[in-house]
Chains A and B, each alone.
Chain A
């Protein structure tokens, strides 16, 4: 069973702080990793993808990948109340078009 695990939260951070979201996966053959943001009642919105070990930065977001530890994380700097949402980690598995989603971490940014 290929699994993607996330802490469901809620993760509460004060406005302006760094939010750290974590994800572990079981399939060592996975090559690509995605972070989606989903507001309540809306569809998932792609934030970032990463497939090489190390860090990838895009604005206030940084994705970190460690394949040896089977761990991927998302850092959100200068968190804003508008960042309050559920963040879904997705990992490709069983083929290049098939991704497995984690259950998501709910982030609350407190003004």
Chain B
């Protein structure tokens, strides 16, 4: 089973709202990722959590705040977003161990975010 779930599927929010995106996996993976994808562009890495610790932050603005409550859950807290933040937000997970075989990432279905 290579299932990563994300909620909600769609989210519309105003620039003053606070909302959260949720991601869950039950594959025993120890690394989880947030990506942002704009139309006709490839996914852009935002954050990586490895063994529940933030290991990569790709200089993302502070209005995006990640949280990893446990090894199965990943949240992305949103506050004071701008219309240009509208995008598909993708969560991914991977086994999380380093070896010759690079961690293979499996994506969730994404949350389509619209900021008004």
The chain A residues found within 8 Å of chain B, CB to CB, are 31-32, 34, 36, 42-46, 49, 51, 88, 92, 95-99, 101-104
* From A42, A88, A96, A101, contact of B98 by CB (8 A): A96
Q: Which of B8-24 contact A (CB under 8 A)?
A: none
Complex alpha-carbon distance, A88 and B110, angstroms: 16
**Chain B 75-91 near chain A by CB (<8 Å), digits 1 or 0:** 00000000000001010
Nearest CB in chain B to that of A45: its residue:
B107
Q: Which residues of B contact A102 (CB under 8 A)?
A: 42
**Contact assessment for B43 and A44 in the assembled complex, using a CB-CB cutoff below 8 Å:** yes
Complex alpha-carbon distance, A98 and B94, angstroms: 11
Q: From known contacts A97-B55, A103-B41, infer whether A43 and B100 are also in contact, taking CB-CB under 8 Å.
A: no
**7 pairs of A and B residues whose beta carbons are closest in the complex:** A32-B102, A101-B42, A92-B102, A43-B107, A43-B110, A96-B98, A96-B102
**Can you give 23 A-B contacts (C-beta < 8 A)?**
A31-B102, A32-B101, A32-B102, A42-B110, A43-B107, A43-B109, A43-B110, A46-B105, A46-B106, A49-B104, A51-B100, A92-B102, A96-B102, A96-B103, A97-B31, A98-B48, A99-B102, A101-B42, A101-B43, A102-B42, A103-B41, A103-B42, A104-B42
The size bracket of the interface on B is 20 to 34
Q: Which residues of B contact A104 (CB under 8 A)?
A: 42
The chain B residues found within 8 Å of chain A, CB to CB, are 2, 31, 33, 41-43, 45, 48, 50, 55-56, 88, 90, 94, 96, 98-110
Measured between C-beta atoms, what is the minimum distance from B108 to chain A in Å? 6
Q: Which residues of A contact B55 (CB under 8 A)?
A: 97
**Contact assessment for A43 and B48 in the assembled complex, using a CB-CB cutoff below 8 Å:** no
Q: Which residues of A contact B48 (CB under 8 A)?
A: 97-98
**Contact assessment for B43 and A51 in the assembled complex, using a CB-CB cutoff below 8 Å:** no
Q: Which residues of B contact A88 (CB under 8 A)?
A: 42-43
